[in-house]
Amino acid sequence: MRFNRIIRLLPVLLILLLPLTGCEYSDTELVLKGKLDVTGVENDIHGPVIVGVANTDDLEYIMANPQDAVAIMVPVETLDYRFNIDLSETSLKAGDTVTVFAFADNNYNGGIPMPDAGDLFGMYIDESSFATTVTLNSGSTYVEFAPNRDYYEHNASISFNINKGTEAIYEGDSIFLVAVHQDGVDNEGTILDPPTFAVTNLDYVIAMLKTSYSNGNQYLLPVLPAVYYELPVGNPFSINNIYVFAIHDTNDSGQPDSGDLVGFYYGTITLSFIPINNKPITTDLDENDVNPLDKDVTFFGDTYP
């Protein structure tokens, strides 16, 4: 999940790095419009700001096949951080799903801009579905997101097993894996009614993966290369107070919905040494590449809000 590797092999895109902001297009063409929200990070932008459009959200494929995966990259006018990109000369068409990302190349020294340590990075994520893609409309499509994550060079990931307990989860069922800092989670609750799962701010998500359930499988959840700028990150790379959740796509809708089953990395509440309930607890990431959890991510019958 190294976005510098997405771009490093793309000399062909030099001809696509054109100032396309401020142009007007007819509704018969394919246009991606939008705005970058630089609230809180504008003073940390010291280089060109680039918006890129990829034709897949499969980051592994993007890394392995950047010439095929990245459709276009364009600079953004930093007066208002709006962009207006004509996609009609690319292979994209209405109905396609794309991943839209942006970065400030603070270390730019010529050539093709690329994100690396010290840069700011962001990508469009739908707040309700956790989807990292957007479907292109005929005519224009609008997106708005924030390049408010500091980019790091690291290989951190979280490994764990999933215990479905007694819940009706079957081989091949879709599940969402999410790791999120405690400041981005609604964790209100009581000792008898412990908190369950509700992400209140996607900025605090540090890892996210849509996959399928397989009994006995060990899951590897890669940590994103860019982390919300307000999170305290250690050197070497480390982050404390992380919740790890699994969401079963119970109704097969392709997104987390109210009523979907939720499993979590947990601790047990005891009263007079008697276990009475289980609750989500946090874990810490250290500088190790793989951070194994000491317990399964387990389903206890809790549901998504």
Q: Decide: residue 72, CB within 10 A, 0-12 exposed, 13-18 middle, 19+ buried.
A: buried
CB of 44 within 8 A of CB of 120? yes
Would you say 152 and 287 are in contact if contact means Cβ atoms under 8 Å apart? no
The model's pTM: 0.84
Strand 97-104 and strand 134-135: pairing? antiparallel
pLDDT above 70 covers a percentage of the chain that reads 82
Quick one: pLDDT at residue 192? Answer: 52
Contact 230, 6 (CB under 8 A): no
Q: pLDDT tens digits for the chain (305 residues)?
A: 434 333 333 333 433 444 444 444 444 589 999 999 999 999 999 999 999 998 877 655 665 666 777 899 899 998 999 999 999 989 999 999 999 999 999 998 887 777 888 999 999 998 878 888 999 999 999 999 999 999 998 889 999 999 999 999 999 999 999 999 999 988 655 545 555 667 889 999 999 999 999 999 999 999 998 999 999 999 999 999 999 999 999 888 888 888 899 999 998 776 666 766 788 889 999 877 899 999 999 999 888 87
What pLDDT does residue 233 have? 95
As a whole number of angstroms, the distance between CA 174 and CA 37 comes to 32
Instruction: Collapse the DSSP code of 11 into the 3-class scheme (helix H, G, I; strand E, B; otherwise coil) and give the result.
Output: helix
Strands (E), 199-255: 205-212, 218-222, 226-228, 239-248
pLDDT 10s digits, 87-121: 998 999 999 999 999 999 999 888 777 788 899 99
List the Cα angle 215/218/223 in 5-degree steps.
135
Beta strands in 55-173 (DSSP E): 70-75, 82-86, 97-104, 120-123, 134-135, 140-145, 149-151, 157-163
> Nearest-CA neighbor of 226 among 241, 210, 206, 208?
206
Q: Using DSSP bridges, classify how beta strands 297-303 and 266-271 pair: parallel, antiparallel or unpaired.
A: unpaired
Q: How far apart are CA 253 and CA 256, in angstroms?
A: 8
Q: How many CB atoms are closer than 10 A to CB 233?
A: 17
Structure tokens given for 147: 């390049």
- Give the pLDDT confidence score for residue 10 in this predicted structure: 38
